[in-house]
Homo-oligomer: A and B are copies of this chain.
Amino acid sequence: MRLNVKAPPAVQADTRQRLLEAAGRVFAEKGYRSTTVREIIRRAGANLAAVNYHFRGKDGLYAAVLEHTYAKALEKHPPEGGVDPRAPAGERLRGFIRSFLERIFDEDVEACYGRLMARELVEPTAALDGVVERIRPLFGRLCAIVKEIVESEASLGQIERSAKSIVGQILFYKHAAPVIQRLEGRRAGPPDIDALARHIADFSVHGLKGPSARARRSR
């Protein structure tokens, strides 16, 4: 009998998964700094050696949680938002916006990724770098759609500024939710996704003065 018994691969993968999920909940509740590895391993039913083996410690575990939860959100709500990739750019823009709203309004995603990112944006940690590398291709995809819509001479800087104008409109509903709640007595949620995606796409394509936008608004 060998003394150095190693867990079989399936058990290892399961431990890794349990650690990721327990860590997601604890980090989201308490923030990176106030979380102890001790509490995570207790909740995951794992031990410190497993954290070090799979993630090389608390920092690595935290970075893995951020990337894992973002990847899961994208898997659940893919960025094309159910729109055919051959559809006109305006429709693809609406699909992109809709899937983004779905991700920020999804309570499972929100309970973990949303709260982690909200904390990251107030007090960034080294782990933000990894998430930004996952955000980068998504931003590129939005810029490509914007470029098709403006059809033109716009510089890369102008296209990127317009893409940021679109992302800003979307994130507002997550970021400013506590203010909206107090201003209007309710905050936006999943039932509003259709109307908001239409509004943001329409506002972005035509602005306040676009004639077709105005016609559509007065319907």
Residues of A43-94 contacting chain B, CB below 8 A:
none
- The answer on a CB contact under 8 Å between A179 and B132 is yes
Which residues does chain B contribute within 8 Å of A175, judged by CB atoms?
121, 171, 175
- The answer on a CB contact under 8 Å between B199 and A149 is no
**Can you list, as one digit per residue, whether each of A123-152 has a CB less than 8 Å from chain B (1) or not (0)?**
010001100100110010000001001101
Given contacts A121-B118, A128-B178, A171-B175, contact A153 B209 (CB under 8 A): no
**Which of these, B115, B132, B170, contacts A182 with CB under 8 Å?**
B132
User: Which of A146, A170, A206, A208 has the largest count of B CB atoms less than 10 A from its CB?
Assistant: A208
Instruction: Specify the main secondary structure of chain A where it touches its partner.
Output: helix
Q: Chain A interface residue count: which class? A: 35 or more
Oligomer: number of copies:
2
Closest 9 CB pairs of A and B: A168-B172, A207-B207, A132-B182, A153-B218, A168-B169, A206-B207, A124-B178, A168-B168, A165-B169
A22 within 8 A of B: no
Given contacts A158-B217, A175-B175, contact A203 B152 (CB under 8 A): no
A176 within 8 A of B: yes
Given contacts A172-B167, A172-B171, A210-B206, contact A121 B179 (CB under 8 A): yes
**Which of these, B115, B122, B168, contacts A171 with CB under 8 Å?**
B168
